[in-house]
Amino acid sequence: MKDNVLYGKQTSAALANFPFNYHRVLKEFVYAIVQIKKTAAVANFKAGKLDKKISDKIVKACDEILTGNYDDQFPVGAHHGGAGTSVNMNVNEVIGTLADAHPNDHVNASQSTNDVNPSALKISSIKLTEKLLDSLNYLISTLDQKSKEYAKVRKLARTHMQDAIPTTLGAEMGSYRDILKRDKMRIIEAIKYFYELNMGGTAIGNSINAPKKYIDNFYPELRKITGIENLKPLKNMMTGTSSDSDFCHLSSAVTILCNDVSKIALDLRFLSSGPMGGIGEISFKELQPGSSIMPGKVNPVIAESMNQTYYLVNGKNVSIHQAAEGSHLELGVMLPIIADSLLMILRISEKAMRIFADKGIKNIVVNEKRCLEHLEKSTAYSTLLTPRLSYDVVSSVVKEAVKTGKTIREIILRDKLLTEEEFNKLLITK
């Protein structure tokens, strides 16, 4: 072991046993564990398990770590075995060295990896989800602005990639806005379960070595230290030790959000195709050259990055669900990959929402002339005309339009089936 490290033999063993070329345990997770250790030191003192001097020294060590000055002392890789014992002991050992305390007897008193790590994941997830919701609200607000800005931009709606009926670009943007509002509600519902922790459950949730007085003092102190209100113990702590379904719920909700954002991005890529040889109803302001060989080419790079964000997030979501299924008997032993995957999902998604709003949605350039041209040349008006002219009459008009290349408007006015004024009135739609 190097002379300048604060961790001990268990951390060193983890580094030797899991030398994967992978990033370290994420800082948000480590800091949440440190906050739990600080809370436990206070609760253990009040329960009579630690004397005041040791408790105060542990609290001070935790505060020093939370300043960020000791980040290099947490080298354990995010990909490791043992249900997360390695990272729990890494934190215990560093605090123990700083506080001149025993990592197990003092720092880990009344605790187990099996209640510390799931609780730390919930705490860190709550904080990251708050950031995600802020960014999602920003994207929703941006789409709302566009729905108003484009409210009068008439265009062709498409189903099955084929001409359908008239709509407006504002209506499309409003639909996207409300899709994301529903996704937001799913995330809010999922995060509710994260306020119930199994701290005090220790190894399997039956609270062995955790006095009732310790548990009673732990939660009020944790709420104060984390700044998260409503943190409380699970009614049955064994459920929080043996099941990781709460993490699956949030992961799925965020994955659905990314799925919808990817769908929106795909729609925008389709509408921006061309711009001369495709749909070309919208385009994006150039952010970077689109090609190393084709001059002047502009690619929808932000929309493409949203698609790839979904692919990445969905892959991690699958990992979480499979790892949760591996929670055999009384313990979710696959928590390390769950923790890393969930926190990465939240990190990536939060950033994606803001990027999509600022560099995607706000960078849309609308070609109103092209929108109207596609609408007028399509068969979209046929559905609106049917109640007035009958299905059969309109069908014959559509067939002629497709065969001759004439517009439905031209044929209707030519045959005096409607006047110009009557035709236009029928086209008023949302």
Separation CA 133–CA 18 (nearest Å): 35
What percent of the chain has pLDDT above 90? 96
Mean pLDDT of the chain: 96
**Are both 147 and 295 inside the same structural domain?**
yes
* Domain shared by 190 and 339, yes or no: yes
The reply to whether 128 and 50 lie within a common domain is no
State the pairing for strand pair 154-159/364-366.
Answer: unpaired
Same domain, residue pair 261 and 191: yes
Residue % of the chain over a pLDDT of 70: 99
Give the integer Cα–Cα distance in Å for 92 and 9: 11
Do 29 and 177 share a domain, yes or no? Answer: no
User: What is the reported pTM?
Assistant: 0.95
Boundary residue ending a domain (63, 78, 109): 109
**177 and 267, same domain (yes or no):** yes
Domain membership of residue 223 (yes or no) is no
Residue 103: CATH number of its domain: 1.10.275.10
Confidence of residue 427 (pLDDT cuts 50, 70, 90): confident
Q: Is residue 291 part of a domain?
A: yes
Asked if the structure places residue 90 within a domain, the reply is yes
Q: Look at residue 149 and tell me if it is in a domain.
A: yes
Residues 319 and 412 in one domain: no
pLDDT tens digits, one per residue of 67-94 = 999 999 999 999 999 999 999 999 999 9
Please indicate, yes or no, whether residues 128 and 88 belong to a single structural domain of this protein: no
Closest CA to 85 of 104, 108, 113, 105: 113
Give the dihedral of Cα atoms 251, 254, 259, 264; nearest 10 deg.
-170
Is residue 326's pLDDT more than 50?
yes
- Closest-CA residue to 39 (of 225, 206, 317, 281): 225
56-77: b or e for each residue (b if 16 or more CB lie within 10 Å)?
ebbbebbebbeeeebeebbebb
The per-residue pLDDT for 202 is 98
Average pLDDT of 180-192? 98
Pair 285, 412 in one domain:
no
Q: Whole-angstrom Cα distance, residue 406 to residue 414? A: 11
Residue 389 makes CB contacts below 8 A (sequence gap 6+) with 397, 417, 418
Q: Are residues 283 and 335 in the same domain?
A: yes
The answer to the question of residue 61 being in a domain is yes
Distance CA 262, CA 355 (A): 13
* pLDDT beyond 70 at 136: yes
- Which of 88, 109, 130 corresponds to the end of one domain? 109
* β-bridge partners, 158: 163
- Structural domain total, the chain: 3
- Tell me the pLDDT band of 3, cut-offs 50, 70 and 90: low
Judge whether 146 and 131 are in contact, CB under 8 Å: no
CATH code for the domain in which residue 249 is found: 1.20.200.10
Q: pLDDT class for 2, splitting at 50, 70, 90?
A: very low
- Could you tell me if 151 and 267 lie in one domain? yes
- Is it true that the peptide bond before 220 is cis, omega within 30 degrees of 0? no
Q: Pairing mode, if any, of strands 162-168 and 232-233?
A: unpaired
Confidence of residue 1 (pLDDT cuts 50, 70, 90): very low
Average pLDDT over residues 58-75: 98
Tell me if 121 is assigned to some domain.
yes
401: domain CATH number is 1.10.40
Distances (CA, A) of 202 to 61, 217, 247, 296: 23, 15, 19, 62
Q: Residue 47: inside a domain, yes or no? A: yes
Residue with tokens 């440190």: 34
Question: Do 262 and 295 fall within a single domain?
Answer: yes
Range of the domain at 69: 9-109
Query: What is the distance between the alpha carbons of residues 363 and 133, in angstroms, rounded to a whole number?
Result: 22
Is residue 211 a part of any domain in this protein?
no
Catalytic residues: 291
- Single out the residue in 346, 369, 392 at which a domain terminates: 369
pLDDT, tens digit, 9 for 90 and up, residues 353-403: 999 999 999 999 999 999 999 999 999 999 999 999 999 999 999 999 999
Q: What is the model's pLDDT at position 426?
A: 84
